[in-house]
Amino acid sequence: MNDNPYITPDFPEDAFAGTANYYAKYRVPYPKTLLDDLIRRAGVKPGANLLDLACGPGRVSTPEFI
C-alpha cells in the first residue's frame, strides 16, 4: 500500500503548449515491425480510419509516420 498522497503537479496549464511539433520532429520513429504488429493485432485493413487519442502528435495513426 502506498502511504504517499497524490501530489498535484504545480505547473501552468499551457506548460507543454507548442511542444508537439518538436516531439514529431525529434522523437525517434517507432520500428516498422512494431507498427506492423499493432496493425495485425488490431485487424486494421487498408484505408481504415484510426484514432490515436491523447498519445502525442499521432505518430501511430498518421500515415506519414507509418
Residue 46 CA to its chain's centroid (Å)? 21
pLDDT at 41: 92
- Domain segments of the chain: what residues? 29-65
Which SS3 state, helix, strand or coil, does residue 39 take? helix
For the stretch 10-65, pLDDT in tens is 888 888 888 878 877 888 888 889 888 988 998 988 888 777 776 666 777 666 54
Q: Report in angstroms the alpha-carbon separations of 17 from 21, 41, 52, 59.
A: 10, 33, 19, 18
